[in-house]
A = this chain, B = another copy of it.
Amino acid sequence: MVNRGTQVHDTAPVALQGACAQCALGKLCFPHVLPAAFRNLFPLVQEQRVRLGRGEFLFRAGDPFKGIYAVKAGFLKTCMPLPDGQSKIVGFQAMGDALGLDSLGRNVQATDAIALNGCEVCLIPLDKFEKLLEHPTESVHVRQLMARELSRVERQAAAVGTLSAKQLVATFLLDMSERWEERGYSKSEFVLFMSRKEIGNYLGLTFETVSRTLSYFQDRKWITVHGKNMLIGDLAALQSQTARAT
């Protein structure tokens, strides 16, 4: 939407009141989660702020469902525990993303949510959220949100089951690129906020394969990686890797 990181620190719109009005995120908060109307109705939700350090749990699968969380700063991952004690990452959340939608209307969390680095999260308690949902517009908005997340996960499931390692990694990079762009940053230069191991877990690959594939892309000058710093040099080439080779 915007290519200027500065916008993130613009002052909030006048309509905002209470804690939200002070929030540096301003109207960028919950871009996909809540329309402006919400923040007028419940200006104080952000009083329930949570700070997490790297590796800390926001909640665990099986925990009582307390409400919907909005990521204010930092990054998290949501993990689905598997029968054998392993656990698989089903999504990464960044600023403006919501957590807990998959547990709405149930009383326990379906996944773990773990901070990838220092991060800050706002809780919208269940009772306030439900009040919000009495307003038809907001209710529709939340359903849209869930539907979008549902088809995102469907797409992810489809990809993991069928694509090759190169296709998966290329798709992943393009996805990250898009998400940074949505938040007003460069789509060709950004930091991967997760480790190779986590990327591998998410894509159903080992970290060695992820590393090798990144090297492969780098060898062809399509990207430049230094640790977690990513520079995409040839977006089109990556896109071409997305489709199955003939």
Contact = CB atoms under 8 A, between A and B. Distances in A.
Interface in A102-154: 102-106, 110-111, 133-134, 136, 139-151, 153-154
A82 B144 contact: no
Interface string A133-177: 110100111111111111101111111111100000000000000
A83 to B, nearest CB: 5
A156 B158 contact: no
Interface residues of A, number: 48
A6 interface: no
A150 B146 contact: yes
A147 B134 CA distance: 18
A39 B104 CA distance: 24
Given A102-B154, A154-B90, A154-B110, A244 B84 contact: yes
Interface centre among A104, A105, A133, A154 (most CB of B within 10 A): A154
A243 interface: yes
Nearest to A106: B147
A136 B138 CA distance: 13
Interface in A75-105: 80, 82-84, 86, 88, 90-91, 101-105
B105 A140 contact: yes
A242 interface: yes
A82 to B, nearest CB: 6
Interface centre among A84, A133, A141, A151 (most CB of B within 10 A): A151
A150 B145 CA distance: 12
A147 B145 CA distance: 11
Given A146-B143, A150-B102, A162 B82 contact: yes
B162 A88 contact: yes
Contacts of A145: 105
Given A111-B154, A143-B143, A150-B146, A162 B86 contact: yes
A16 interface: no
23 contacts: A82-B158, A82-B163, A86-B162, A101-B147, A101-B150, A102-B154, A103-B147, A110-B147, A110-B150, A111-B151, A133-B139, A133-B143, A134-B136, A143-B143, A143-B146, A146-B146, A146-B147, A150-B153, A153-B153, A156-B157, A157-B157, A161-B161, A161-B204
